[in-house]
Amino acid sequence: MKKPILSLLIFGFLFSCTQKQDTTRQLIIHFPDSAERTVTLRYSIKNLINFSYEPYFEVRKVDDTSLVFEIPDSVSTFTIAINGYSWSSNYVVFMTQGEKLEIILDTVQLPLFVGKYADFHKHIHSLKFGTAFCRMEKTLVSYIESEKQSFFIYINNRINESLDFMKTLLADRRICEKQYQFAESQIIDEFLFRAILIGQPVAMNVIDDFLQYAVTAGRTSGITAEDFYAKIDAENFFSQLNDLVLLYDRTFDYGISALSKATLRMMGLIPFEKVDLGLSPILISSNYLSKEEQEMEAASVLISMVSIGRLDADALETQRALFQSVFPNSIYNSVLNRLEALIQKDFILAHFSIEGGFNELGRFETDNTRQITSMFLGGKPVLVSFWATWCAPCLREFQYSKKINDFLSANNIGKLYVSIDFAGAYEQWKEVIISHQLEGFHYFATNEFVSKSPYEIHSIPRYMLLDSNGNILIESTALPSSGRLIEQIKVAVN
């Protein structure tokens, strides 16, 4: 049965294949067990992937082994979020009119797609499987281990190999032209995104740290930055990266590469003449995109900022008016006009334990974690973890929390998690704590908190060890995934 909220979906979406049958799309999700879960469909908004704008959500709770969604006629693309199940938020599901798609989930194996276009869905899903960091890491390792010397040729070949598969499906009439166009956009954008993302650690000369994650996780063995630079020098790398950007110089529907591309241009690593349209300074990076790309990116950023609580009512009105003065006829104006600022919720102190669950202790505004550690964890050393719900590397480190927490508990050392999210991420913050079973005290702060903190937190994940008086013993410890943190704490505490 359709939710009442779906009546708000008045927009037509691109990429629908005309068929004579019923236009309603049916999605059936099968679960490996009957555990209670929440499944969220986020319907795309005029070529924008919708991560956080709630009026375009359909949320269903299920405690059965299957769940059926009747997708509105006006919708052809959406993302899926399933709590307690690993699923890429960047995977966009594209369904044709009248299509029935079944997704069979498994706790060990990748999802199984059943339906007329199963091969199409499987291929698109495989492109987006895992976090952005993991997909970038996979491509980086694969390039280093490949025989090809040219980064440009390697990425271009990966794009064409994937496109050739879709062309085969099209030739065999196993997909239609609209599906091919959608797949082409997703394939090119995804590999361009990975290539551009590799450029950032290269530019900051920290590519060895990224490769070390792969070695630690057992996904490869012994690969170092030297192996990368043995195949390509940094200057030649960015020249080839720019050639890729120029070769695929277009705006991608439901794309994620534009902002990363703008970042490298802003850093001066790939050339570009700025296009200053007079948008807000908070959208300054969009000056390094074309006007068409800026319209999509600026609208997407404003929707996200409102949904996570970063803009209050006055700031929202200012930003909306500025956008509409630059793009008076934008297709996104009808969406932006519907936005309403969130009531902020921040500086929340909470505690989580396996036995007692999640308990919010109330609002506790402070600009110094020492106040928290002395009042609630006084008389013992404290390990502080700075993180955020949007930080994929932070969430990956939580995979190692149990061993660390067992050691801390056995040695009378406290644990404090400090989240530097935006106000609108409260529910996501709570969900991550529970799903990752992060035992200890939690502080839901804001980005501004670390600028007031005496610890100068410029990047996350960041772990810090304090003594029983709140003084810093180790300003930046080894990460849990390194396997060195426990020994480091033992030495410092003793």
Correct CATH for 4-114 of 1.10.287, 2.40.360, 2.60.40, 2.60.120: 2.60.40
Which one-letter DSSP state was computed for residue 45? B
Q: Which residue ranges does the chain devote to CATH 2.60.40?
A: 4-114
Strands 25-30, 100-104: pairing kind: parallel
Q: Look at residue 453 in the predicted model and tell me its pLDDT.
A: 58
Rounded CA gap, 392 and 409, in Å?
26
The closest alpha carbon to 274, from 245, 294, 253, 298, belongs to 294
Contacts of residue 45, Cβ cutoff 8 Å, sequence gap at least 6? 11, 53, 56, 303, 332, 335
Angle, helices 207-216/132-145, rounded to nearest 10 degrees: 90
What does the pLDDT read at residue 78? Answer: 93
H or E stretch at 485: helix 485-493
Report the pLDDT value the prediction gives residue 454, as an integer from 0 to 100: 59
Contact assessment for residue 167 and residue 254, using Cβ atoms and an 8 Å cutoff? no
Q: Label each residue of 279-314 as H, E or C.
A: CCHHHHHHHHCCHHHHHHHHHHHHHHHHHCCCCCHH
Concatenating the DSSP letter of every residue in 132-157 gives HHHHHHHHHHHHHHSS---HHHHHHH
Q: Please give the helix or strand (H or E) that residue 432 lies within, else none.
A: helix 426-435
Q: Are 50 and 129 in contact (CB under 8 A)?
A: no
**Terminal CA-CA length for the chain:** 62
Per-residue confidence (pLDDT) for residue 26, from 0 to 100: 95
The confidence score (pLDDT) of residue 14 equals 30
Q: Which two tokens stand for residue 430?
A: 């709570």
Give the pLDDT score at 213. 65
**Residue 392: per-residue pLDDT:** 78
Dihedral (Cα; 378, 375, 445, 401), 10-degree rounding: 30
Q: What's the rounded Cα separation, in Å, for the pair 364 and 369? A: 11
Burial of 482 (0-12, 13-18, 19+ CB in 10 A): middle
- Distances in whole angstroms, Cα of residue 443 to Cα of each of 121, 186, 359: 40, 38, 12
Beta bridge mates, 472 = 466
Buried/exposed code over 221-248 (b: 16+ C-beta within 10 A; e: otherwise): eebebeebeebbeeeebbebbbbbbeeb
Tens place of pLDDT per residue across the chain (494 aa): 433 333 333 233 333 343 334 568 999 999 998 888 889 899 988 888 877 777 788 889 888 999 999 998 888 899 998 876 777 778 999 999 999 999 999 888 889 999 999 999 999 999 998 888 888 888 988 998 888 778 999 999 999 999 999 999 999 999 999 999 999 999 999 999 999 999 888 887 777 777 776 666 666 667 777 888 888 877 789 999 999 999 998 888 888 888 889 989 988 999 999 999 988 877 778 899 999 999 998 998 888 888 777 787 888 999 999 999 999 999 999 889 988 887 767 788 999 988 888 998 888 887 777 778 877 887 789 999 999 888 878 888 888 888 888 899 899 998 999 988 877 778 888 888 998 889 889 999 876 777 665 566 777 888 999 888 888 889 889 899 888 899 999 998 87
Tell me, what's the pLDDT at 19? 37
Q: Respond yes or no on whether the N-terminal peptide bond of residue 381 is cis (omega within 30° of 0).
A: no
Give the up-direction half-sphere exposure of residue 406: CA atoms within 13 A in the CB hemisphere: 3
pTM for this entry: 0.73
408: nearest Cα among 488, 486, 494, 492: 486
Superfamily of domain 348-493: Glutaredoxin (3.40.30.10)
Residue 317 is predicted with a pLDDT of 93
Find the Cα–Cα–Cα–Cα dihedral 189, 171, 125, 256, rounded to 10°.
Answer: 10
Closest C-alpha to 99, from 128, 73, 125: 73
Which residue, 106, 84, 80, 104, is CA-closest to 30? Answer: 104
Say which residues have a Cβ less than 8 Å from residue 416's Cβ, sequence separation at least 6.
Answer: 369, 372, 373, 377, 382, 383, 384, 385, 440, 441, 442, 443
Q: Note whether 90 and 256 are within 8 A (CB).
A: yes
Task: Choose among 361, 377, 310, 379: nearest CA to 339.
Answer: 310
**Boundaries of CATH 3.40.30.10 in the chain?**
348-493
Q: What is the DSSP letter of 29?
A: E
